[in-house]
Structure 1
Amino acid sequence: MANPYKEIFSVPGTKGFSAAGFLARLPIAMAPIGIVAMLSQTHGEYWLAGAVSATFALTNALISPQVSRLVDRYGQAAVLTPATIVAVIAFLALIAGTNQGWPVWTLFVFAFLAAAMPSMPAMLRARWSDIFRDRPELNTAFAFESAADELVYIAGASLSVGLAVALFPEAGMLISTAFLAVGTFAFVLQRGTEPAVRHVAGSAPQKSAIRLRPVQIITLALIFVGSTFATAEVSAVAITKELGQPNAASLVIGVYAVGSFVVGLILGALNPTMALQKQLMIAVAILALTALPLPFAGTVPMLAIAVFLSGVAISPTFITAFGIVERRVPEAMLTEGVTWVTTGIGIGMALGAFVAGWAVDNFGAQNGFWVSIAAGIGAVLTIGLGQRILAGEDCDDGVCPLVQAAE
């Protein structure tokens, strides 16, 4: 049996942009936790560290789709270069301000400006879509990207905190900023695989991709999915601490991510032919069902097993969700459409961490997992009710008439 991953990387240029893109997206995981590690050590105030980090994360969630919209209009090289320069300068200023004890308000300003950092997962998927459009290899490429995203979250956060603790407070942010600069510019220089700029026929000025019903449905569903991801992390930390084994939290969280990573690679290799909206429905249903045992896992081994099982559907959900976006969004809006979906994941993670933390504080560590169950049900209902639109029924060239009603 041929190795499908070897086949997708046999296309000239794919290894280069994939390697550069992996480096460039490490800051997605490194920067938010790196800001917390840096400021908590230098200022000794966790509220400040969390507030500055949240300013960056939430502002980036709102700005990155607009950056991607400009990419769809003017091309990757034309937009990524200035956006990355702004983000890199802002990160360096944030690091300098922290080190030199500049006024606190300046830290928030620099965090706000750093949010110009582009969504590299969207840029990578746009290149794969341009190469393998309407071909089965695209599902394998998306599977690889979802697995790479998992690896970024596993390695990035640990690397950022580890550097800050082992070397000096700003170390994690310095390396993260270097990865962003080197990775993005190496990515931009590879013009041979850059998607051509396309325009929507009869549409001037171009509308936002978030006004398309398929994008709205997928984004909302992945807000719920992102909530389950964050809830597992928060609850695992709280439960292992309550059980007197706080060091086991990293093992439990790692098992959660590894399960998703492995299943995602397998799915990409198998490349099932079932309709994507049906695959997504199955994935979110499994996600909801496997969350049910979580509140009842009373020991670390039981918790690890339950968390492993609950993570197996994460990558399949991401793979099929991005596949649907690629098919239901016009080519001229694809990068922005993918970015809105990744933004949904980020928003879900932020909301999930907050709600799970509140549940743990008020009802006990074990009960944080009820947030995962509720979020899983929300994802099932969203995808279930959206099946007809996600299937492309009553749509013309991937743009549903209902989109026009939403305008």
Structure 2
Amino acid sequence: MSLSASPAPASRISYGAVLGSPYVARLLGGTLTGRLPNSMAPVAIVLWTVETGGSIARGGLLSALYGLAGAVGQPTLGRLMDRHGQAAVHLPAALLNSALLVALPVAGPYAGPVLVMTIVVAAGLTTAPLETGLRGLWPSVLPDPRLRHGALALDTGAQGLLYIVGPLLVAALASACSAHLALVVTAALGLIGTAVVALAPPARRWRPAPPATTGAGQVPGLTSPGLVLLFVSLTGVGFAIGALNVEAVAMAERHGQDMLSGVVPAAFSTGSFLGGLVYGRRTWKATIPAQLRLAAAAFVTGWVPLLAPLGPYAATAAVMAPGAFLTVVVACAFVATDALAPAGRTSEAYAWLILSIGAGQSAGTMLAGRLAEHPLASASLPAAGALFALAVLLVAHPRLTPAGHILRRGRHRRPPPGRHKAR
């Protein structure tokens, strides 16, 4: 990919054509199913802890450890995927993750707190890198860059639905039966979804590009200024998301409406899904760095109305605006990462992108929790995170252009001969 070229006219993309392409529906459906534990497990762990006599605070700690371990483990799994292929990493990781989630309710009554914590952390660390893997498969599955652009926007936007469906499914299972069953179903869905992806021909055939080397024969790292600044900016995006989740709980308490704690994040995720659908239906004239800056600026602007003391219905509607631009920011960030990462390290780079958002989300949640009793400060945190992301992207702009490449119209760089092909 190069970075400067005369832009082509924008044109519409049919999602029917995207989903009708070979293996696309299977890979997307399997990835979404396999990633449901990302939203189900944290809730199921809290409910299981309370059900077995523990406190909500203890359940919250275990849930946070699971999520943090899941994010921290992704770069290592991404690097293994770049070396050994996708199926060789996905299946063992999913088997371990599922076994550990099932072991939690089995061992719980007889295990001490240290063993329970160890099981939870180990389960998080073995979360299969499905999101990273799917982004690596699109160039081989969809050679047409226009369809690939639509697929990227579709899978990025659909992620928000996981955080609507997953918690609701866990709550229903725990209410109808038990939190033990919720953990077992969570494990089963993760394993089934991962197997659907890992056993698909594109995943089994996928091979990483030969690693690039420097003049001294060394493999370059992921420390180019453009990549580092891009990842730093995305911590601000994650910070905004994490702060919103806590602000939704605080808003529910202020208005005496418990449902707001779930409705507000669901509205944000719905906005993200709809924004992704709109963005993915067209290719755009602007280069990817320009799209990234514009989307980040719109993301900041979307939070401004929420600085005012809005009523519950107005706040629920308003939060869809920043959500609509979240997918655009993340989708453009993945395309930029693809261009900036050295050959043979793309999966690992994607994983660091995901980790950056997750780390920022944890920080936003923590700080918002401390400021929850100060409504104005708490409400301003999402906008502050978004503003930080935009400021870093403005500084990073000259460095988001790798020499000899063009980042334009949502295109992934063309893989070198032999990359991502069957062997």
Assess same fold via TM > 0.5: yes
Say which SS state the counterpart of residue 118 (structure 1) adopts. Answer: coil
Q: Which residue of 2 aligns with 1:403?
A: none
197 and 253 in structure 1: CA distance in 2 versus 1, 3 angstrom threshold:
closer
385 and 186 in structure 1: CA distance in 2 versus 1, 3 angstrom threshold:
same
Given that 2:22 and 2:141 are in contact with CA atoms closer than 8 Å, whether structure 1 keeps it comes out as no
The structure carrying a bigger helix percent of its residues is 1
Q: Which residue of 2 aligns with 1:374?
A: 384
Given that 2:142 and 2:148 are in contact with CA atoms closer than 8 Å, whether structure 1 keeps it comes out as yes
Task: Give the drift of 1:43.
Answer: 2.5
Q: Deviations over 1:172-200 (max 9, x none)?
A: 22111101111112211112354223221
323 and 57 in structure 1: CA distance in 2 versus 1, 3 angstrom threshold:
same
Amino acid paired to 1:75: G
Tell me how far apart the structure 2 counterparts of residues 286 and 308 of structure 1 sit (CA, whole Å): 12
Tell me how far apart the structure 2 counterparts of residues 357 and 29 of structure 1 sit (CA, whole Å): 20
Q: Deviations over 1:249-301 (max 9, x none)?
A: 33322222111110111100022131011111011111112212212133112
Tell me how far apart the structure 2 counterparts of residues 206 and 170 of structure 1 sit (CA, whole Å): 46
81 and 39 in structure 1: CA distance in 2 versus 1, 3 angstrom threshold:
same
Q: Which residue of 2 aligns with 1:71?
A: 81
Moved more, 165-174 or 191-200: 191-200
- Structure 2: any 5+ residue segments left out of the alignment? 1-10, 414-423
1:277 aligns with 2:289: yes
Amino acid paired to 2:101: F
171 and 280 in structure 1: CA distance in 2 versus 1, 3 angstrom threshold:
same
Q: Which residue of 1 aligns with 2:208?
A: 197
Q: Which residue of 2 aligns with 1:321?
A: 333
1:172 aligns with 2:182: yes
Amino acid paired to 1:62: V
Q: Which residue of 2 aligns with 1:30?
A: 40
Aligned partner (choices 226, 250, 253) of residue 241 of structure 1: 253
Task: Give the drift of 1:303.
Answer: 1.2
Tell me how far apart the structure 2 counterparts of residues 162 and 70 of structure 1 sit (CA, whole Å): 36
Aligned partner (choices 294, 304, 319) of residue 306 of structure 2: 294
Tell me how far apart the structure 2 counterparts of residues 26 and 272 of structure 1 sit (CA, whole Å): 31
Given that 1:295 and 1:367 are in contact with CA atoms closer than 8 Å, whether structure 2 keeps it comes out as no
72 and 205 in structure 1: CA distance in 2 versus 1, 3 angstrom threshold:
farther
1:44 aligns with 2:68: no
Q: Which residue of 2 aligns with 1:349?
A: 361
Q: Which residue of 1 aligns with 2:148?
A: 138
Aligned partner (choices 99, 115, 118) of residue 106 of structure 1: 115
- Structure 1: any 5+ residue segments left out of the alignment? 400-407
What does 1:208-227 align with in structure 2 at a 5 Å threshold?
Answer: 208-209=221-222, 211-227=223-239
Q: Which residue of 1 aligns with 2:90?
A: 80
Task: Give the drift of 1:133.
Answer: 5.7
Given that 1:154 and 1:254 are in contact with CA atoms closer than 8 Å, whether structure 2 keeps it comes out as yes
Task: Give the drift of 1:3.
Answer: 5.0
Tell me how far apart the structure 1 counterparts of residues 405 and 224 of structure 2 sit (CA, whole Å): 11
Task: Give the drift of 1:141.
Answer: 1.1
208 and 4 in structure 1: CA distance in 2 versus 1, 3 angstrom threshold:
farther
May I ask how many residue pairs the two structures share in their alignment?
A: 395
Tell me how far apart the structure 1 counterparts of residues 305 and 110 of structure 2 sit (CA, whole Å): 47
TM-score (ref. length: structure 1): 0.90
Q: Deviations over 1:207-231 (max 9, x none)?
A: 553x243332222222111111122
Given that 2:49 and 2:58 are in contact with CA atoms closer than 8 Å, whether structure 1 keeps it comes out as yes
Amino acid paired to 1:200: P
185 and 206 in structure 1: CA distance in 2 versus 1, 3 angstrom threshold:
farther
Q: Which residue of 1 aligns with 2:418?
A: none
Say which SS state the counterpart of residue 386 (structure 1) adopts. Answer: helix
Amino acid paired to 2:247: S
Task: Give the drift of 1:380.
Answer: 0.7
Say which SS state the counterpart of residue 332 (structure 1) adopts. Answer: coil
Tell me how far apart the structure 2 counterparts of residues 223 and 120 of structure 1 sit (CA, whole Å): 21
Aligned partner (choices 303, 311, 326) of residue 323 of structure 2: 311
Task: Give the drift of 1:2.
Answer: 6.6
Amino acid paired to 1:169: A
Task: Give the drift of 1:338.
Answer: 1.1
11 and 173 in structure 1: CA distance in 2 versus 1, 3 angstrom threshold:
same
Given that 1:26 and 1:179 are in contact with CA atoms closer than 8 Å, whether structure 2 keeps it comes out as yes
Tell me how far apart the structure 1 counterparts of residues 40 and 315 of structure 2 sit (CA, whole Å): 26
Moved more, 21-30 or 194-203: 194-203
Given that 1:80 and 1:188 are in contact with CA atoms closer than 8 Å, whether structure 2 keeps it comes out as yes
Tell me how far apart the structure 2 counterparts of residues 251 and 333 of structure 1 sit (CA, whole Å): 39
Amino acid paired to 2:197: F
Q: Which residue of 2 aligns with 1:128?
A: 138
Given that 1:35 and 1:53 are in contact with CA atoms closer than 8 Å, whether structure 2 keeps it comes out as yes
Task: Give the drift of 1:161.
Answer: 2.9
1:334 aligns with 2:331: no
Moved more, 239-248 or 120-129: 239-248
Task: Give the drift of 1:134.
Answer: 7.6
Say which SS state the counterpart of residue 111 (structure 2) adopts. Answer: coil
Tell me how far apart the structure 2 counterparts of residues 60 and 215 of structure 1 sit (CA, whole Å): 22
Amino acid paired to 2:321: L
